[in-house]
Structure 1
């Protein structure tokens, strides 16, 4: 019974991770109609920081959530400045001009770019030839989605996609630098401290761009969008994601990020009337193929482990049946 409950909980957390993060792109697109992009991100993290820090303080002992070492501070800085602040600032700036589906697919390069940075910044990780092929395939997929034209690469459309790519790069680089810091504090606590750092960065960027609170239109739609990106994708998604990491590991957990574009595309279609073109679908499939190539060995290892576990369970079941049969024969 415990195994069944645990399995069901993991499924719920996996789906919550994909749905909450996928909904970010839809809510961001809706909220950008009423809020300047950088200020939208900053206020989002203001709210999320208060909620997640409160959650961590209430659920973790003081020695776990209080930063104590330089490694803890380095991890918080990498999370706040890059994975949270820069990544989301670029996402919200770029998503003013593209659909939820396109933005989410470009951002799905995050887990694909991570091994590239790891090869240079982490001594125990190197990019193999197969992983390099997977990386190229994924980039081709993104090129299909954004309809990349080398002639117009520096045009306005190219600049928009460059913002989204910069966000994905920031998220990936931040993740690798977090691992390089090797902090001792729990990941949820590190994220809780990273949120106010990211909020401060976005406030400074908003100020530099002349964005003002007076420009915000406090409509019901805008408030719902802000509430979603603050609570659901700013707090609950992180809690589900980090909890899933502890339960099933990074490889299977990160598969959730390949459901995110599906959620974003369907959400944009249902709530915002956005169209899903065949080119977008094709590009997503190519990106996913790149991910599969990049993580082929790890996925094979995971599948082998699952098969071994299933065979062990089957063997145990057969042993029980044989034992019961012999007992009945004795009777």
Structure 2
């Protein structure tokens, strides 16, 4: 498999598997209490991912610095644990499509926390415009009418809180400046997230006796634990190492599309025109924020040098400068 084919395969796998999380979670909530469901998910994912990193990262497994420990805690408690706990609880009250789009605020919210905690990352004017456009799109998706917004319980607000937790966690991971590889840090973080969610489940009065162990339930758990858990992490983090954060985070542009189509095809969820319009506006916000990672002036200059008119005899264009962007998903 060539380099480009391998990269494309990882991109497609991560997009499909992460998008399917919302469909599988919605389906599995019929059989599991929400917090216990996500706790079991992390139990399964931890076993699978730990087995992988023990095989693939021999000699680089032990956390050795304060930053490593802080990175693991930020990963397990926030980016994995609290984020997914809020997602699974919130999805009791929202469709797969709405949940995925509200959760797509994660990369838009990241610069807000980065501007506070990371001195080198400040939200520019263009970034602020992207943030506002994305918020407008989510407002369209959840319906700006107050009565509709509150309909179905507090699900959309809980989902938004999950997006906030994910964004804050990703910034704290960068602030910790861990020396561990992202997959090893995630393997350490998964048991932390599992313990947190088991504790929240016990505190909320959930019981294993409430689980309905049907084949459908086991299939949903296997998907969110192995496929959308361990395998999706390996695909995404491999893509991150191969292409960098900017290109890797394009995965999250496709997640709401996969979740929306999956919910429609498998769960019979309705896709409205307003949902589609809201997604397009959210995507526009992502595009504006993503454009910060590219030196537009250098790109325009490079294109002008390639034009046949007035371009004869000029030097080859300077390479376009790309810089790392705030990350929406847990990564190095």
Query: Contact between 2:126 and 2:292, CA under 8 Å: does it hold in 1?
Result: no
Q: Shift of the alpha carbon at 1:54?
A: 1.3
1:102 is aligned to: 98
Report the 3-state secondary structure (helix = DSSP H, G, I; strand = E; otherwise coil) of the residue aligned with 1:126.
coil
Equivalent residue in structure 2 for 1:52, among 49, 52, 56: 49
1:91-130 matches, within 5 Å, as 91-130=87-126
CA distance in structure 2 between the partners assigned to 1:14 and 1:247 by the alignment? 11
CA distance in structure 2 between the partners assigned to 1:60 and 1:9 by the alignment? 20
1:321 is aligned to: none
Equivalent residue in structure 1 for 2:25, among 14, 23, 28: 28
Q: Shift of the alpha carbon at 1:72?
A: 0.5
Equivalent residue in structure 2 for 1:193, among 174, 188, 196: 188
Aligned residue pairs, count = 304
* Structure label with greater radius of gyration: 1
Structure 2: stretches of 5+ with no match in the other structure: 307-315, 317-332
Q: Shift of the alpha carbon at 1:304?
A: 4.5
Report the 3-state secondary structure (helix = DSSP H, G, I; strand = E; otherwise coil) of the residue aligned with 1:105.
helix
Report the 3-state secondary structure (helix = DSSP H, G, I; strand = E; otherwise coil) of the residue aligned with 2:292.
helix
Equivalent residue in structure 1 for 2:209, among 214, 229, 236: 214
1:57-206 matches, within 5 Å, as 57-62=54-59, 64-150=60-146, 155=150, 157=152, 159-206=154-201
Structure 1: stretches of 5+ with no match in the other structure: 316-331
Higher helix share: 1
Query: Contact between 1:251 and 1:299, CA under 8 Å: does it hold in 2?
Result: no
CA distance in structure 2 between the partners assigned to 1:271 and 1:221 by the alignment? 13
Query: Contact between 1:56 and 1:192, CA under 8 Å: does it hold in 2?
Result: yes
1:328 is aligned to: none
Equivalent residue in structure 1 for 2:3, among 6, 29, 34: 6
CA distance in structure 1 between the partners assigned to 2:266 and 2:151 by the alignment? 27
1:326 is aligned to: none
CA distance in structure 2 between the partners assigned to 1:292 and 1:69 by the alignment? 36
Equivalent residue in structure 2 for 1:227, among 199, 222, 225: 222
CA distance in structure 2 between the partners assigned to 1:148 and 1:118 by the alignment? 28
Root-mean-square deviation (CA), in Å? 2.0
Q: Shift of the alpha carbon at 1:224?
A: 0.3
Structure 1 residues 220 and 96: CA distance shift in structure 2, 3 A: same
Q: Shift of the alpha carbon at 1:148?
A: 3.0
CA distance in structure 2 between the partners assigned to 1:49 and 1:132 by the alignment? 37
Deviations 1:31-64 (A, max 9, x none): 00000000000001011111111111111122x1
Q: Shift of the alpha carbon at 1:152?
A: 7.2
